[in-house]
Amino acid sequence: MRILGIETSCDETAAAVVEDGERVLSNVVASQVDLHAQYGGVFPELASRMHVEAIGPVTAQALQEAHVGWSDLDAVAVTYGPGLPGSLLVGLNFAKGAALSAGLPLVPVNHLEGHLYAHWLHTDAREAAPDNPPAPRDFPLLALIVSGGHTELILMRGHGQYEYLGGTLDDAAGEAFDKVARMLGLPYPGGPAIERAARQGNPHACDLPRAWLPGTYDFSFSGLKTAVMRALRQYHEPSPRVISDMAAAFQVSVIEVLAEKTAQAAEAHRVHGVLLSGGVSANATLRAAVRARVTRSVHATPLWLCTDNGAMIAAAGTYRYQAGARAAWDLDIEPGLRLA
């Protein structure tokens, strides 16, 4: 079974062909990161316009690299939420048009479910990674989804069965990385920039708060953001040393809480494994912190599948397709769609 996955929920225009829900035949991503960097964040109107320009060529390239034509496909899977309305509309309408004209069924996919199904993807070329094997298929599994728009702990009891354990009450983890990077004068996207700066920094040079919110699996990062802003006020122009120290202190404050709550939830629900998903899970310090605390197997999404892509949408779409999901032609976007 071959499914084309289309993803345009934020600032990546992506299309991919996946076989049997696991094997990545192609995965084409046109990132708009460089474009949005000059505005310090995603500029929604610009994002939709760029999606309109890119979606056709990106899809054509995905089919070409997979060596398949429309008649070799079984379905078209597309993200219909959550995400930026204008961006979602482009992918959904393109997918509708493509599926209708090719005589293929359209399968609606929740973007967050896509991040989870990225854990079962591989290519023939995937080199063995003994420290990060593909996720088990035994449930329950615990997923920490950390991206620019989401910070959630989800208990996955089976395919398509999700229980929301907790999540952020204000900023998403990635959003906090992006905002703090901006305060520190680091480029967008802030996550990789902070991780890089933090390597030279001392996390103990500056004492930043952690929002433990005891008795819950919830998170809050807005207080931390304000604390960074206040700590920065004492410098007229912070030196590279100060910036690195602040980046390291901020990073560890976010990661400690994420890792500790993930470990608590993993124990409480006796899960078979922990899945780290979403753009922020690319962070090596986060991966190490979770591995250090969790006694069960920890599976981080392979780096090339961490940020938004079409393969993860095709993977989740394959499962949904097999479960009988078909979108009607009047399917609309759901910018605030949730997993559970």
The rounded distance, in Å, linking the Cα atoms of 110 and 313 is 8
Nearer to Zn ion (CB atom), residue 247 or residue 306? 306
Contacts with Zn ion, 296-325, as mask; x by CB under 5 A? ------------x-----------------
**Residue 8 vs 318, nearer CB to ligand KG4:** 8
In one-letter notation, the amino acid at residue 302 is: P
Among residues 148 and 317, whose Cβ is nearest to ligand KG4?
148
- Residue 224 binds to ligand KG4 (criterion: CB under 6 A): no
Peptide bond into 130 cis (omega under 30): no
**Which residues in 30-69 contact Zn ion (CB under 5 A)?**
none
Residue labelled with tokens 């493509």: 98
| Burial (CB count within 10 angstroms: exposed 0-12, middle 13-18, buried 19+), residue 257 | buried
Among 21, 91, 273, 278, binds ligand KG4 (CB under 6 A): 278
Per-state percent for the chain, helix, strand, coil, to nearest 5: 45, 20, 35
Name the residue with tokens 């690299």: 65
Report 130-169 residues binding ligand KG4 (CB under 6 A): 147-149
**Unique residue bearing structure tokens 């708009």:** 32
Using rule CB under 6 A, residue 82 touches ligand KG4 = no
Closer residue to ligand KG4 (CB): 196 or 241: 196
Q: Are 173 and 224 in contact (CB under 8 A)?
A: no
Q: Is 279 in the site for ligand KG4 (CB under 6 A)?
A: yes
Q: Is 12 in the site for Zn ion (CB under 5 A)?
A: no
What x/- string results for residues 173 through 202 when contact with ligand KG4 is judged by CB under 6 A?
-x--xx----------xxxx--x-------
Q: Which two tokens stand for residue 319?
A: 């499962």
Position 178 contacts Zn ion (CB under 5 A) = no
Place of tokens 């699996």: 217
Question: 162 near 152, Cβ under 8 Å?
Answer: no
Q: Note the residues at the interface with Zn ion (CB under 5 A).
A: 147, 308
Q: Note the residues at the interface with ligand KG4 (CB under 6 A).
A: 10, 147-149, 174, 177-178, 189-192, 195, 278-280, 282-283, 307-308
